[in-house]
Amino acid sequence: MKIHDIPGFPNPARIRIVLAEKGLTEQVEFVKVDLFAAEHKQQAFLAKNPTGVVPVLELDDGVFISESIAITEYLDNLDGKPVLTGTTPREKAMIHMMQKRADDQLIDAIGIYFHHATPGLGEALQAYKSPEWAHRKEWGERNLEKFKRGMAYFDSVLATQPYLAGGQFSVADITAYCALLHAAFVDVTVPASLPALAAWQARVAERPSVKNRSGQ
């Protein structure tokens, strides 16, 4: 298998943590995609993933799987023993509900802020954004506020349980943690007023799969 990505970025980090949790890191070849040069927006990459984002999983038979949650589902169930996406109907429902919320309220929101209200990845990517800077910046700032509301929501969840979907570490936790990594890159951190979220972040940071994720 191959993973087309770039180390140090939030969505690639999600899959690298998944690989480490499943003990699959050594079975994967990492192919670096130069996001700063907009390689992911060129035809060669778009043939692998028409949405033009990383990561992309390339299977040995030439099939490409994109979208972090789809890649996670594949990797987690590859051995028939899922540990991140749930085993019972209830577990699956809770994990996927919280995963969707983490995507929408955290990782997508901070990504929109980064790409539209800050210089983002630089000049090469500007051609792929809306030309109306004022509107983009306003949209980005609105999503920063959404991200902050999301942090407050997850703090309330974590005040009553150890992980986002209950008692078990899951893909939802990985998504939320990587969103906080992205936020820290633009100097947005968990405030002292959200102690449960801060404690959870510190606890997740100590997991071997997080501390030793490839490419960091």
Cα–Cα dist 209/169, whole Å = 12
Model confidence over 109-119: pLDDT tens digits?
A: 999 998 888 87
pLDDT of residue 164: 98
Q: Is 0.75 surpassed by the pTM of this model?
A: yes
Show the low-confidence residues of the chain (pLDDT under 70): 120-134, 214-216
The CATH number of 89-207 is which of 1.10.268.10, 1.20.1050.10, 3.40.190.10, 3.40.50.9100?
A: 1.20.1050.10
Model confidence over 28-72: pLDDT tens digits?
A: 999 999 887 888 889 999 999 999 999 999 999 999 999 999 999
pLDDT of residue 81: 97
pLDDT of residue 169: 98
Contacts of 99 (CB under 8 A, 6+ apart): 69, 165, 170, 171, 172, 175
pLDDT of residue 187: 96
The residue ranges of every structural domain in the chain are 2-77, 89-207
> 2-77 belongs to which CATH class?
alpha beta
* Maximal C-alpha separation, the chain: 50
Cβ 21 vs Cβ 83: under 8 Å = yes
pLDDT of residue 115: 84
Instruction: List C-alpha distances in Å: 186 to 37, 125, 139, 179, 202.
Output: 20, 18, 16, 11, 19
DSSP string, 97-115: HHHHHHIIIIIHHHHHHHH
pLDDT of residue 116: 82
